[in-house]
Structure 1
Amino acid sequence: MTTVREAAAVRHGIWALCPAVGAAAVWGLGLAADWVANLRWFPFQGVFQLVADIPEPWATIAAVALGAVAGLVFAALWAKDMLAVEVTSGRVVLHRDDVVLAFERAEVESAFTDGKQLVLLSRDGAELARETSDLSRADLERAFTGEGYRWRDADPFAAEFRLWVEHAPELAPEVNALFAARRKAVAKHESEEAAELAREIRHRGVAVRDEKKRQYYRCER
């Protein structure tokens, strides 16, 4: 079995780095509060004046604590979004937080990366999965080829994708509704919701990919 995941320095380091950066950032803003409070043209004067009026050492303690907590929240979101890929001679398993996607060897015809997305193709050309990550393309290629899977240099069906427009005539109404909901999720940067909606669309025989916040689709059956 070959497992591809973020480097240990990243997986563990974010829990120290993010709180430290957050604490330093908020502490720096606290130091600047008194100066900003004297700039009459600057918005939110009341907020900066309130911060500037907090006596020391409480101002520093509060700033460092608030920044550290914000950093921990960011680290948790980052960790939750990390993808791990397990490749064996018998199946491929994708892990992200509590989402697990497993595919038997017989289902997977090939794999490739499209930008930052790992894509698995079935033997009839349908997309089994399209998951975004920061994993190394080289590491993924070695994992799949090392277990005997076919690795492609590019998407063989790239030319078949077309821009989605509302009420696309060749798509079923329920699929168009999923695309409309996903457009809102993408616009609001709700990546988890957008990914789940993409999986629902894929289950209905339509591949979906993004480019500059625009959705493109390919009918697979």
Structure 2
Amino acid sequence: MSVGDGEAGGRAGGASVVGPGIADRVVVWAGFPLLGAGLGWLAAALAPWAASLRWVPFQGPLELVASIPNPQATIGGLVLGVVAGVVVAFLAEQDRMVVTVDDEQVTIAHGESVRTVHRSAITAVFLDGGQLVVLGRATEELAREGGDHDGRRLARTLLAHGYPWRADGDPHRDAYRRWVPDDPDLTAGAHALFRARALAVEKKDRQDTEQLRGELGRLGLVVREEGGRQFWRRTA
């Protein structure tokens, strides 16, 4: 069963593909460069006026832009705006998530990360704070990926292929407890990982945060965060 239209609901060898549709990607790749061009034109047009107001910050760059004659200033603003828009569109493209589902396995592609989980290993699939989570037979997390996705479309697709979608969210949510330093129920090694992860969360270092999540998972601990605070539970 395929869901949606375009790429969002295409079929590949009996599989259903859930991800941004062609229309969404056209909006990203056309919209951001156009928006950047508009902002570049506006910046070039307003630079002489803003440079005349001494209380406006960045007087040096403003005076430099104001000193460039037209049409060079306008053309330069348009070009820089388009380039900035293309960069933003590229970053948005890298962050998109595509989920491919068939009767045997689920493949989650998010940026450069690609993870495949076989149907026989999955006991629950749900959304947690915008992240797609897949649990295994020991209640461990087999996958946790965030991205721009449609929860209803994901639910319909996974249910159509017989996967245990949980509309009510994490079935083990009540088992979590907040991490606090020196909790006697955790080992010194686990505390060291939690402290390192807390620093990574504070710095918004996604790669380090996920790597430390994996290290804690190898200790039989599942971790999630809310508002910068870490919560944990043990696997079965």
Q: TM-score, normalised by structure 2?
A: 0.84
Give secondary structure in 2 for the equivalent of 1:84. Answer: strand
Q: In the superposition, relative to structure 1, how do residues 82 and 63 fare at CA in structure 2: closer, same or farther (>3 Å)?
A: same
Label 1:109 to 1:69 Cα distance change in 2 as closer, same or farther (>3 A).
Answer: same
Higher mean C-alpha displacement, 51-60 vs 5-14: 5-14
120, 129, 133: which one aligns with 2:147? 133
> Over the residues paired in the alignment, what is the CA RMSD in angstroms?
2.0
Post-superposition shift, 1:30? 2.1
Instruction: Summarize the alignment of residues 44-193 of structure 1 with structure 2, pairs less than 5 Å apart.
Output: 44-152=58-166, 153-166=168-181, 168-193=183-208
Q: 2:36 aligns with which of 18, 22, 44?
A: 22
Secondary structure in 2 aligned to 1:159?
helix
Distance 1:148 1:185, change over 3 A: same
CA pair 85-184 structure 1, distance change in 2 beyond 3 A: same
C-alpha offsets along residues 152-185 of structure 1, whole Å, 9 cap, x if unaligned?
1221111122223345543444444443343333
CA distance in 2, matches of 1:73, 1:166: 41
CA distance in 2, matches of 1:108, 1:181: 30
Matched residue SS, 2:123: strand
Residue 216 to residue 138, structure 1, CA distance change in 2 (3 Å): same
Task: State whether structure 2 residue 190 is matched by structure 1 residue 201.
Answer: no
User: Residues 128 and 202 of structure 1 are in contact (CA less than 8 Å); yes or no, is this contact kept in structure 2?
Assistant: no
Give 1:197 shift: 3.6
1:17-39 superposed Cα distances (whole Å, 9 cap, x missing partner): 11111121122122221121111
Counterpart-to-counterpart distance in 2, 1:35 and 1:15? 32
Q: Post-superposition shift, 1:108?
A: 0.5
Instruction: For structure 2, list consecutive stretches of 5 or more residues without a partner in the other structure.
Output: 1-14
Residues 185 and 31 (structure 1 numbering): CA distance in 2 closer, same or farther, change over 3 Å? farther
Aligned to 2:227: 212
| Residue type of the alignment partner of 1:89 | D
Displacement after TM superposition at 1:86 (Å): 1.1
Unpaired runs of 5+ in structure 1? none
Q: Deviations over 1:98-139 (max 9, x none)?
A: 211111111101211112111111122112112112211111
TM-score between the two structures when normalised by the length of structure 1: 0.89
Per the alignment, residue 7 of structure 1 pairs with 21
Give the Cα–Cα distance (whole angstroms) in 2 for the partners of residues 18 and 193 of structure 1.
29
CA distance in 2: counterparts of 1:73 and 1:193, whole angstroms: 24
Distance 1:191 1:9 in 2: 29
Confirm or deny: 8 A CA contact 2:202 2:228 kept in the other structure. Answer: yes
Identity of aligned residues (%): 39
Q: Distance in 2 between matches of 1:18 and 1:71?
A: 5
Q: Go from structure 1 to structure 2 and tell me whether the alpha carbon gap of 1:23 and 1:168 turns closer, same or farther (over 3 Å shift).
A: farther
